Structure 1
Amino acid sequence: MSEKTARGWGAGAAATTLVLVRHGVTKHTAAKAFSGGLGGDNPPLTQEGREQVLLTAEWLRPLAASVSTVVTSPVLRTVETAELVAGVLGARITEEPGFAEIEFGEWEGLTFGEVAEQFPEEMRVWMGATEVAPPGGESFDAAQKRVLAGLSRVLEERAGETVVVTSHVSPIKLIVAHALGAPIGGVFSMELSPASVTVISFFADDRASMRLFNGLPVSRDPFAAGTF
């Protein structure tokens, strides 16, 4: 097996491993409504969301000895998620604006059905073109540039470390697509649960290896519960 074809098997500097944690539920998550970054109403976690994050934080407790930093999006629900996780791990918190959620503009707070009813043509075009933004919002292409710039900063500043990142469904999916060399449109074929964990190791040769996707503590895992 050659180093060129074996992602993550090559010798060299230690990998930088990102433990990507999606925030817990908010009022918008529960309603399945569009909820963007700082341009929206910026809702906090609900009590259910806090409980979800605490379960995930306890699940991650074995990482306490190897994780010194939690990097978070500046959006309230991810900051609250970071505070809960960092409290369990004994880690410090830093913010990375590149990891904020996509801005949904006029769709903020509306459900998918409401957007389809009020903005049918805009929704149709948006679903098929990553360069198209919601009215007053941000496109996936624009968000990808922002997210990957943030990723580059973290990989440079935290080279060789294991870092917890608290972020949102779209940025995490964009990082996954980038790591796998998948088209950006692949974000529409992924599902991430609230307070789920995705783990990716990045190597100095610009290769990456995804080690976990949408992981959940056993008490919340639909496979373990037989409810999938």
Structure 2
Amino acid sequence: MNQDSPMTTRWWWIRHAPVNSTGGRIYGAGDPLADVSDIESFRGLAGLLPRDAVWVTTHLQRTHQTMAAIGEAGYPLPEAGTQGIEIDLGEQSFGDLQGRPRHEVFATVEFQRHRFWLTAPEVAPPGGESFEDLLGRVTPVVERLTHDYARRDVICVAHGGTIRAALAHALEIPAAKALHFQIDNLSVTRIDHHPAEENWPDPAWQVVMVNRHPK
């Protein structure tokens, strides 16, 4: 399959700018400010991303800040307020763990952890949700937007957990395996969707790049 086929829908996932305002506390689905001072990375993103794309963010302000900073670095953003905002693409909620110091939580045996994530994929912290729950809400949004914006470029500024969930869906791998992906702040992950065609009766996802740094 030619990844540049005119039938392809291309998702450009960007993890938001880093959060340095929480003093090392877990923020998960919270809404702290991001640090958008890395001008070089934003210029790299502005040069890498395709023009005439559909833009999507989550409801959390760090994704809006990141999108705005890419625009300030030279990318011609769509008219203000016209990007899609998808609550169900927000980060995993860690419930009662949010606001607690990371080192304190990591030192406890309160719950089962994953080596590369705060909790095991099936574990929901008190008052929160599991990574499997996150996957369950991200997948329908990805499928819906892929249908709505077929054959377009979709740029989505989201979160580390969200992007791992999108990879799990595309690759049809267990949630626990998706947590092995490293997704850095301001990195780009591209996942293409190829529809069914005459010689290919089933649609297919193709992972083109993961965790690409823009500078």
Please give the range of the TM-score, normalised by the shorter of the 2 chains.
Answer: 0.7 to 0.9
Task: State the partner residue of 2:77.
Answer: 91
For residues 24 and 96 of structure 1, the distance between their equivalents in structure 2, rounded to whole angstroms, comes to 18
For residues 77 and 30 of structure 1, the distance between their equivalents in structure 2, rounded to whole angstroms, comes to 16
The structure carrying a bigger helix percent of its residues is 1
Cα distance, 1:30–1:212 mapped onto 2, change above 3 Å = farther
Q: Report how many residues are paired.
A: 202
Structure 1 contact 24–45 (Cα < 8 Å) conserved: yes
- SS for the counterpart of 2:139 is helix
Gaps of 5+ in 1: 1-7, 219-228
- Farther off after superposition, 148-157 or 10-19: 10-19
CA deviation after TM superposition for structure 1 residue 140, in Å: 1.1
Normalised to the residue count of structure 2, the TM-score between the two structures is: 0.82
Task: State the partner residue of 1:105.
Answer: 95
Normalised to the residue count of structure 1, the TM-score between the two structures is: 0.77
- SS for the counterpart of 1:27 is coil
Task: State the partner residue of 2:209.
Answer: 212
Q: 1:74 aligns with which of 59, 84, 97?
A: 59
CA deviation after TM superposition for structure 1 residue 107, in Å: 1.0
For residues 11 and 116 of structure 1, the distance between their equivalents in structure 2, rounded to whole angstroms, comes to 44
2:20 is equivalent to residue 34 of structure 1: no
Task: State the partner residue of 1:23.
Answer: 16
Task: State the partner residue of 1:155.
Answer: 146
CA deviation after TM superposition for structure 1 residue 167, in Å: 0.2
For residues 164 and 104 of structure 2, the distance between their equivalents in structure 1, rounded to whole angstroms, comes to 24
Cα RMSD after superposing both structures: 2.6
CA deviation after TM superposition for structure 1 residue 67, in Å: 3.1
Gaps of 5+ in 2: 197-202
Task: State the partner residue of 1:58.
Answer: 43
- Farther off after superposition, 59-68 or 130-139: 59-68
Structure 1 contact 67–89 (Cα < 8 Å) conserved: no
Cα distance, 1:124–1:195 mapped onto 2, change above 3 Å = closer
Identity fraction in percent: 26
CA deviation after TM superposition for structure 1 residue 198, in Å: 0.7
Cα distance, 1:56–1:153 mapped onto 2, change above 3 Å = farther
Structure 1 contact 116–123 (Cα < 8 Å) conserved: no
Q: Deviations over 1:115-152 (max 9, x none)?
A: 1345x132449977422201111111111111111111
For residues 131 and 112 of structure 2, the distance between their equivalents in structure 1, rounded to whole angstroms, comes to 14
Structure 2 contact 12–188 (Cα < 8 Å) conserved: yes
Cα distance, 1:117–1:65 mapped onto 2, change above 3 Å = closer
CA deviation after TM superposition for structure 1 residue 29, in Å: 7.6
2:157 is equivalent to residue 166 of structure 1: yes
Structure 1 contact 202–208 (Cα < 8 Å) conserved: yes
For residues 195 and 30 of structure 1, the distance between their equivalents in structure 2, rounded to whole angstroms, comes to 20
